[in-house]
Structure 1
Amino acid sequence: MTAERTVLITGTSSGIGLAAAVGAARAGLRVVATMRDTAKAGPLREAAAEARVADRVAVKRLDVVDAGSVMACLGEVIDEYGRLDALVNNAGAGYVGTVEQDGMDPVRATMEVNFFGVVEATRAALPHLRASQGRVITVTSVGGVVGQPFNEAYCAAKFAVEGFMESLAPVAATLGVHVTVVEPGAVASEFVASQELDVPALLEAAGPYAPALRAYIERATKTFTSAQTPDEAAAPVIAALTADRPPFRVQTSDWARDFTGTKLADLDGSAVQSLTGSWVG
């Protein structure tokens, strides 16, 4: 992809999205870095300036759960640059909880952002990507391959994204559009902090699930102390943007490859259940 080609990345105010936006610009791409609230663009602008790529990073508002916002942003991109060569679906939201205790509203909200938002952005971008023979790159998660305790809604959404993209990929390929999913494990970023978990309150409200939830939180806390940096997790996104023929699926670390490999080789499900069961006691 040359310096004149344009990539739109969602969810760039922090974490992988911010790192991917700066990394793509450093790779010579013209980047449209989008976020729901452009008042939060300060860290991205600072990082782009420090990397000396501020002239190749344009910040725009895009809310993936608002179809009008998606179409308006894409319209601006085409009006200003004349083309779209890649879409990076990165915007997402985490959720920790279990359905009996929390009800359906959090499940629907999590699906709306992490699944339907991805579908909406992809649907709207495809006519432009067909014209440019471009690509769709979606940041999913190892949680899109292996279901994880107290992440029912989040993993359900990421499973749905993986199934959607795996089904779309051969269809899009007939028209010259490459589809890739990128699966990070734990990443040290604002994604975790943004969930604003009140652990004592969660445990108090968990009722009979409290012992399992406590064990899970203790394990998750240890995992994120040795997490990848956003730059490390974003590197496969940049590789997928610049490769001649990117793979369909790529993990961001050896740990993520081993973890997802457990599921992919687990025909009866016993290995995954044994592994994740140990997380909750």
Structure 2
Amino acid sequence: MTTQTTQTTQTTTTTETTDPADSTGPTRTVLITGTSSGIGLATAVTAARAGWHVIATMRDTAKADALLAAADRAGATVDVRALDVTDPASVEACLSGLDRLDALVNNAGAGHVGTLEQEDVQDVRAVMEVNFFGVLHVTRAALPLLRASRGRVLTVTSVGGVIGQPFNEAYCAAKFAVEGFMESLAPVAATVGVSVGVVEPGAVASEFVANVGLAHDAEQQAGPYAPALSAYLARTRDAFANAQTPQDVATRIVEWLTATRPAFRLLTSDAARAFAATKLKDLDGSAVQTLTGGWVAP
């Protein structure tokens, strides 16, 4: 099969699944955001191989080469379109051109490392725009189509949307917001036939970590927080040495899209489940504070 690029302006699931390209109807369409690398790229290719018509979106389609090459190697076809999740006009242009949509995977996001005293509040707002309001813009625009198809919305959050993590204040705030929003939306959307869920990976070996915007001399510039930041970065490097692969996460996402009764929360590894469980059974917050406090102890 060949790939094509169209530029426009515009915790557990059941194992029983349905075929997105069965003989009873048209091939199902999924729109995935943030597909230039990592989880988004792997999910786009995996979904295409599974029979979905994949609309693979990214802010800059000039960065589509890696996705297109991966799709070619897999014998899959993906439809690449421009979409900036922080720009409502871009979202509207992309979604308004669709006749059918069966699933949305909100994957686009940006990491961020920093602490409040040393940051401009505008930096925090920028993190919220990408990781929270971007999800809202796309989901809102997609819902009429998803109501028509009785489709699904799956948003990639993080275990950082369950447990606040040192030096990830803005990022975790955005992911907490996404989790709360989607958990609240899910029962409402269900009344009109739309399934809503979140996927919470732990450490994933992708370009995401390299793109958190941390200066090379950040430890030297951290002032009184330098010992804590050094300890945190050392612990993080160790964690990502044994990270889950994007393909592992993508496989779970595509399984969720066709599961008979998809769960709201999808944790993608044993490590992620164990970590999130610390919070979910921590009624007074002491267990989490003990855990994450150890990450920044000099």
2:268, 2:239 → 1: CA distance? 15
| 1:65 corresponding residue in structure 2 | 86
Shift of 1:192: 1.2
Shift of 1:135: 0.5
2:108, 2:201 → 1: CA distance? 14
Note the 1:160-171 alignment, pairs <5 A. Answer: 160-171=177-188
Are residues 1:259 and 2:275 paired?
Answer: yes
Q: TM-score of the superposition, structure 2-length normalised?
A: 0.90
- Kept in 1: contact 2:112–2:213 (CA 8 A): no
* CA offset digits 1:203-253 (Å, max 9, x no partner): 122110010000000000111111011001222211111112211001010
Are residues 1:269 and 2:288 paired?
Answer: no
Are residues 1:23 and 2:46 paired?
Answer: yes
1:274, 1:196 → 2: CA distance? 28
- The counterpart of 1:215, out of the listed 206, 223, 231, is 231
- Kept in 2: contact 1:178–1:245 (CA 8 A): no
Which of the two has greater helix per residue? Answer: 1
User: Quick check: 83-92 or 236-245, which moved more?
Assistant: 236-245
1:198, 1:171 → 2: CA distance? 42
Query: What SS does the corresponding residue of 1:190 show, helix, strand or coil?
Result: coil
Q: TM-score of the superposition, structure 1-length normalised?
A: 0.96
- Structure scoring higher RCO (CA < 8 A, sep ≥ 6) equals 2
- What is the aligned-residue RMSD (CA, Å)? 0.9
1:216, 1:209 → 2: CA distance? 11
| 1:224 corresponding residue in structure 2 | 240
* CA offset digits 1:163-209 (Å, max 9, x no partner): 0000000000000000010000010001112235334x211221100
Structure 1, unmatched stretches of 5+, are none
| 2:144 corresponding residue in structure 1 | 127
* CA offset digits 1:33-92 (Å, max 9, x no partner): 0000000000100110111012xx10000000000100111122x1xxx20001100000
Query: What SS does the corresponding residue of 2:208 show, helix, strand or coil?
Result: helix
Structure 2, unmatched stretches of 5+, are 1-18, 22-26
1:245, 1:252 → 2: CA distance? 17
| 1:195 corresponding residue in structure 2 | 212
Query: What SS does the corresponding residue of 2:75 show, helix, strand or coil?
Result: coil
Sequence identity percentage: 69
